Structure 1
């Protein structure tokens, strides 16, 4: 399976990268082809034109590269922090550059925060957004908080919270894998309706 892990914090002291690395490594250990897409590293401009609004071959190089990766992926994991009860603008901006490229593939959401709510409100907002963008959002989620007491700087589980996260990951990964397999089988059987 080819999985993209999408992460969107632009902050200088980013803690969510720990969760992004943990999940990327978890899928890699399972034998999946997984890549971390870091919105800050790609540094797309604020949305002016969607990818599809550029003439064929006229999109900026970073946008063209990312469009290909999204089209080639079997599924997605969105790593989201919570900013004032809402979504991270960097991840939302990256996501909104595309539409049809996301269609007919499953997505999973992993949220985090520095506090005890673990980014749950942002995860809830993402669920509706990703569904509207043509993805099937799996029911299993991961919610990590306080993140600094759950994962080390290298994305390794620490303490009791880290142990709980490590125990929860296989179900999260299995749920996404099941939907990826189901979506791939259905796309091979019949073209999507639009």
Structure 2
């Protein structure tokens, strides 16, 4: 069993991407992993002023401290991202920027979505160098869901041909993440991290 965190970052009133986040949480739990959904809006961190590491021990806000603990204990991460004007969602980026060393030496996976046929892939492409700079290894498999309303229903269940395609793609996506997460966990158990 792996401990995995699924991050979701939309602050919009009519959030569609939560369908994909819910789908991933359920499917990963079906694979017998411990999975936690981290909704940036619910966590409610302010616009970045001070990173977690810039607080003295015990002085960070409670929600930041709790999230730092979850990140440090996780074996891997999944970032569910929409695309805003060809770019990264600001809510999700703001949440990730509050942390740095807490992310190191674990794999990250990217699942993108949009209301249209491009499925958020331009935002996904922007996340790769960002996550790498933050000390994560981004797996090569990704999920791109669009149009999201034709792929997942309001409960996050796959529907129609697009949903069947997502179900097939999920198998490779999850196997890739599991391989890297297990490899990183095993390496960390035997070798000290370089820094």
Superposed pair shares fold, TM > 0.5:
yes
> Secondary structure of the equivalent of 1:35?
strand
Match of 1:35 in 2: 36
> Secondary structure of the equivalent of 2:117?
coil
- Report runs of 4+ in structure 1 exceeding 3 Å deviation: none
Match of 1:99 in 2: 100
1:8-66 per-residue CA deviation (whole Å, 9 max, x = no partner) reads 00001000000000000010000000000000111110000000001110000000000
1:137-183 per-residue CA deviation (whole Å, 9 max, x = no partner) reads 00000000000110000000011000100111111000000000110
Distance apart, 1:92 and its partner CA: 0.2
Ranges in structure 2 where 5+ consecutive residues have no aligned partner = none
1:66-109 per-residue CA deviation (whole Å, 9 max, x = no partner) reads 00000000000000000000000000000000000000000000
- CA distance in 1: counterparts of 2:25 and 2:170, whole angstroms: 11
- CA distance in 2: counterparts of 1:26 and 1:155, whole angstroms: 10
Match of 1:60 in 2: 61
What is the aligned-residue RMSD (CA, Å)? 0.4
> Secondary structure of the equivalent of 1:78?
strand
Match of 1:164 in 2: 165
Alignment of 1:42-81 (within 5 A): 42-81=43-82
Instruction: Count residues in correspondence.
Output: 194
